[in-house]
């Protein structure tokens, strides 16, 4: 029986992944590197951003250290102020959900608070936000989800994870949690997950 729900943030609750990759593409272009945003999304959605920058920097022979990250983050925040939206249908899900819930994300807490606050979703979670930076373990490592389950006071097997990335879904499965893979773009569904294409389906899936 499901007793609690653990949500990812970027791409699951808010439409922020595309904004992150837009800012990354712009930053790389300023350094003479051309990349495709969709290709970045396919390869890096949900991954630790610092690790992504390290890998891209090595591949393209450019410095993508702290200064680049700060500049990129500022640009992403600038775009988000006008373009960031909740994922379609997620507000109704949160309003109708009666189970305890939290957010567990690879992103820093400050970014989560901004994204959820800006889109009006933060009141559904309060302070129940968990960042990989706090436990120093990033998805696909299951540590963050296990930490979130302990904070909720719920056994891992009684939690359901809602994720949109392969690394996040892999972490959910590895944590021994039922994992629902939000998949509007019809990607390959990771092994051990249940895929669904629209948030309007989520409440019934959680009850199933």
Q: pLDDT by residue (tens digit) across 68-119?
A: 888 988 898 899 899 999 999 999 999 999 999 999 999 999 999 999 999 9
Q: Examine the residue annotation and report whether 41 is marked as an active-site residue of this protein.
A: no
- Sorted by where each starts, the structural domains of the chain and their CATH numbers stand as 4-15+85-207 (3.40.50.1000), 17-83 (1.10.150.240)
> 0.75 exceeded by the pTM?
yes
For 144, residues 6+ apart whose C-beta sits below 8 A from its C-beta are 104, 106, 130, 131, 132, 135, 137, 138, 171
- Find where tokens 């120093």 sit: 136
Structure tokens at 179: 């994992």
- pLDDT for residue 108: 93
> Which among 8, 41, 141, 164 is annotated as catalytic?
8
Give yes or no for a contact between 168 and 141, defined as CB atoms under 8 angstroms apart.
Answer: no
Question: How confident is the model over 35-74, as pLDDT tens digits?
Answer: 888 888 778 877 778 888 888 888 888 888 889 888 988 8
- pLDDT for residue 176: 98
Work out the pLDDT band at 132, boundaries 50, 70, 90: very high
- CA nearest to 102, candidates 153, 141, 142: 153
For 42, residues 6+ apart whose C-beta sits below 8 A from its C-beta are 187
Which pairing describes strands 4-7 and 159-163: parallel, antiparallel, or unpaired? parallel
Give yes or no for a contact between 102 and 4, defined as CB atoms under 8 angstroms apart.
Answer: yes
Give yes or no for a contact between 140 and 165, defined as CB atoms under 8 angstroms apart.
Answer: no
Return mean pLDDT, the chain: 93
Element of type H or E holding 130: strand 129-131
Three-state secondary-structure class, residue 121 = coil
Calpha distance 105→112 (Å, rounded): 8
């Amino acid at each position: 029986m499901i007793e609690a729900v653990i949500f990812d943030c970027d791409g699951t609750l808010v439409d922020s992944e595309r904004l992150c990759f837009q800012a990354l593409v712009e930053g790389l272009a300023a350094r003479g590197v051309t990349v495709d945003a969709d290709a970045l999304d396919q390869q890096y959605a949900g991954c630790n951003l610092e690790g992504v920058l390290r890998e891209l920097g090595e591949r393209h022979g450019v410095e993508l250290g702290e200064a680049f990250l700060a500049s990129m983050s500022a640009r992403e925040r600038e775009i988000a102020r006008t373009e960031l939206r909740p994922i379609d249908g997620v507000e109704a899900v949160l309003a109708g959900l009666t189970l305890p819930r939290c957010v567990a994300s690879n992103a820093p807490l400050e970014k989560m608070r901004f994204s959820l606050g800006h889109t009006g979703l933060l009141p559904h979670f309060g302070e129940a936000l968990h960042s990989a930076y706090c436990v120093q373990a990033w998805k696909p490592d299951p540590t963050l989800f296990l930490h979130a389950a302990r904070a909720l006071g719920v056994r891992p097997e009684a939690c359901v994870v809602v994720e949109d990335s392969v690394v996040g879904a892999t972490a959910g499965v590895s944590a021994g949690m039922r994992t629902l893979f939000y998949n509007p773009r019809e990607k390959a569904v990771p092994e051990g997950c249940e895929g669904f294409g629209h948030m309007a389906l989520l409440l019934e899936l959680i009850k199933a």
